[in-house]
Structure 1
Amino acid sequence: MSFTGEGVWEAPGRVNLIGEHTDYNDGFVMPFALPHTTVATVARRDDGVLRLTSADMPGGAVELHVDELAPGGPAGWTDYPAGVVWALREARHAISGADIHYESTVPTGAGLSSSAALEVVTALALNDLYELGLERWRLARLCRRAENVYVGAPTGIMDQTAAACCTEGHALYLDTRDLSQRQIPFDLAAHGLELLVVDTRVKHSHSDGEYGKRRAGCEAGAAALGVEALRDVPYEGLDHALARLADPEVRPLVRHIVTENHRVERVIAHLEAGEVRAIGPVLTEGHASLRDDFRISCPELDLVVESSLAAGALGARMTGGGFGGSAIVLTETSQAPTVTKSVLAAFETSSLQPPRVFTAIPSAGARRLS
């Protein structure tokens, strides 16, 4: 590490239990934080320089001038923290520069929100050091603006809110319209269960066009139905709504969003009733919807789901933006080794590189370490 800084902060990656692509449709999501984090050592500067270094990225230090930050520059990992500084300054917060050194254990390109962890740890550190007094949800909003406008990735608010606001041992129920939150107890170990994360090691990028196409299709569906967002289409009226849509490309996108919001509500009901095993089939339904209606799965993700269910898992689905990344698998703890072996064997048989498999433990959101 190149300097000691004024303090050290961390922000986690996240897994989304259920509620995929609903966040930019004003819908419901249910992420929880992972123990994998991005750690930032930070010190203020008063010369207008933003100096960024990372133990995980080649190329050495990158120096930028805060008064020259603007969307549309060369793409790279520094866009995420630079975008946060830009968003803070755009909101009239006086950030005069910083030295920031990052180290991360959040897998990149795995659909576990490494970018949001990078954004949120930057925002929290600067909020503390510059005594801005911004609430966690406001930091999440600024981070989303950084990613949407500065980076150019049309993501919703879920990832940044999860990194900023999750609590240990809980999943976060978030209404992305009014940003109301509820912490839902999610202690799988107490029920003899595990949630495995299977990183397929297939990389994806939210800014490569496909994500944006899905979002545009959802917006077109809402416009055609005369609603502000697809969140406003009631599950009970879905068939009627679909019959009103002339575009065959838009219809399945609408069906996924409406049924996915309903799945979030079903998962909450099961968890609050203590029926934790009952969420398994709901997760599997969600994968089928993402695969068939939203069309963002891939052969590797489908293979994880198929092989884990064949080995006795209670449920499985892809998680994250799609086109690669990770899947989650709900299984009895006693069955977890068998499920893991089944997934690894399926990848080997298909001549694919072995996926990374680990147990997801609901963990704390962003915080100051020292």
Structure 2
Amino acid sequence: MTTTELSQQGREFFAGQFGQPPDGLWSAPGRVNLIGEHTDYNNGFVFPIAIEKRTVAAAGLRSDRRLRVASSSFPGMVEVSLDELDPDALQGWAAYPLGVAWAMAQAAGEKGIPGAQLAGVDLTLTSDVPAGAGLSSSAAVECAAALALNELWGLGLGREELARIGQLAENRVVGAPTGIMDQSASLLGEPDHGILLDCQSLRAESVPLGFAAAGLGLLVIDTRTSHSHADGGYASRRRSCEEGAKAMGVPSLRALGPGDLPRAAGVLDDETFRRVRHIVTENQRVLDTVAALQAEGPSAVGPFLNESHVSMRDDFEISTPELDLAVSAAQSLGALGARMTGGGFGGAAIALVRNGDAAGITEGLIREFARAGFTAPSIFPVSASAGARREE
């Protein structure tokens, strides 16, 4: 679906819900993380892209203090007063946009804008970012809502601040202990560029990819096994990383390099060591991937994707049989590299392929999933696209 078509749907959905046109439309993309998994909350490096699949927020100011939100993906409307916006009471899909509203109100207070000056808002969400596939549908919602509220409330917050607001909403309100990568990718993405993000300094560098010029593309292999970052596996991995950093006497695993791993093996128990080894080696893979991309071109990225998947499968233990099949089958069918992407425990894998091989690899993957008795995957190409923006 084109963004124009999605925007038209969003405009019509808003009018159907609230009986009048919105004041504006804002959209934000999902993301694919090329490499750098679970490194963001360890103050490490990540290298994501924004993708063309987006969430559109249609919004309009009200004359009172009510917030009303509706989603074309879920039944019903949720309504709450700004004066009663309690982060501990927000639940379900509405916790994402209303969590952003709560976090934005906090930010407004820090800028000296009293919360009582903020007007109510009607807001609807329309999206073609697959939910639960590891493509950060949640960050797309958060960033579209944040962009809309930032403009409607006249807060003048920069994109780095909006990324932190989205992360705060996800951590504090939704209860998912994620890092800042997803919101940063959604807000900062550029066509045909990856975003090299240092999650310690929050310095972001836009890096040309050159995939199209090289005749390469990315396939997303959505295994249709959903995950949730609010579930225990993600929190357990984060806790292991924090315990490993504490045992090694460093503020975060960012402070460790490959040369520290022999000492870590003697200090940590086996499971914690493997969790730490993944983060340390994955940080290095991000830097090596960008260096290889710039020195040798995009085809050099493939081996790092393969190594990343092995590390996530064996050391961080966040893969699944469906994801492992997607990766191994794509590799055997001719992909230059493949890995699971996202938080793990389900979701999607990505494969870097020659454009001429994409159709055959897609057919082969569907065949291999059927042979294994798995649900047929959803497979589609993605390309690096623009970040969040006002549509009209």
Which TM class, normalised by the smaller chain length? over 0.9
| TM superposition shift of 1:168 | 1.3
Structure-1-length-normalised TM-score: 0.97
What's the offset of the Cα at 1:274?
3.5
Matches within 5 A, 1:49-88: 49-58=66-75, 60-73=76-89, 75-88=91-104
- Following superposition, the deviation at residue 29 of structure 1 comes to 0.3
C-alpha contact 2:210 2:297 (8 A) present in aligned 1: no
Whole-angstrom CA distance in 2 between matches of 1:148 and 1:258 = 24
Shift of 1:74: 5.2
Q: Indicate if the aligned counterparts of 1:194 and 1:359 stay in contact, CA closer than 8 A.
A: yes
Q: Pairwise mapping of residues 93-242 of structure 1 onto structure 2 (< 5 A)?
A: 93=113, 94=115, 95-242=118-265
- Aligned residue identity for 1:356: S
**Runs of 4+ off more than 6 Å:** none
- Aligned-pair identity in percent equals 51
Alpha carbons 1:13, 1:34 under 8 Å: kept:
yes
Query: In the TM superposition, what whole-angstrom CA distance separates every residue of 1:105-127 from its partner, at most 9, and x where no partner exists?
Result: 00000000000000010011111
Pair 1:315-2:332 in alignment: no
Whether the 8 Å CA contact 2:65–2:120 is kept in 1: the answer is yes
The DSSP-based 3-state class of the residue aligned with 1:345 is helix
Name the SS for the 2:146 alignment partner: helix
Amino acid at match of 2:374: L
Q: Which moved more, 1:291-300 or 1:44-53?
A: 44-53
Answering whether residue 49 of structure 2 is matched by residue 11 of structure 1, we say no
2:262 and 2:300 map into 1 onto residues whose CA distance is 26
Which residue of 1 is the match for residue 5 of structure 2?
A: none
Amino acid across the alignment from 1:258: V
The equivalent residue for 1:280 is: 302
CA contact (8 A) 1:22 1:29 kept: yes
Displacement of 1:273 in angstroms is 1.1
Q: Would the aligned equivalents of 2:223 and 2:376 in 1 still touch at CA under 8 Å?
A: yes
Measure the CA separation in 2 of the matches of 1:215 and 1:171.
25
> Which residue identity is paired with 1:55?
S
Query: Of Structure 1 and Structure 2, which has the larger fraction of its residues in helix?
Result: 2
Task: Give RMSD over aligned pairs.
Answer: 1.1
How far the C-alpha of 1:278 sits from its partner, in A, is 1.4
The unaligned stretches of length 5 or more in structure 2 are: 1-12
- In 1, distance between residues paired with 2:232 and 2:81? 29
Q: Hey, what does 2:366 align to over in structure 1?
A: 344
Count residues in correspondence: 368
On the 8 A contact 1:24/1:155 being kept in 2, the answer is yes
Structure 1: 5+ residue runs without aligned partners?
A: none
Q: Is the partner of 1:191 in helix, strand or coil?
A: coil
Q: Secondary structure at the match of 1:172?
A: strand
1:214-268: CA deviation from partner (whole Å, max 9, x where unpaired): 00000000000010100100122222223222x2221100000000000000110
Question: Residues of 2 paired with 1:259 and 1:30: CA distance?
Answer: 14
TM-score of the two chains, using structure 2 as the length reference: 0.92
2:99–2:174: 8 Å Cα contact kept in structure 1? yes
8 Å CA contact 2:22–2:60 kept in 1: the answer is yes
Q: Quick one: which amino acid aligns to residue 166 of structure 2?
A: C
Q: Is the partner of 1:131 in helix, strand or coil?
A: coil
* Structure 1 residue 129: Cα displacement: 1.4
Structure 2 residue aligned with 1:20: 37
SS in 1 for 2:196: strand
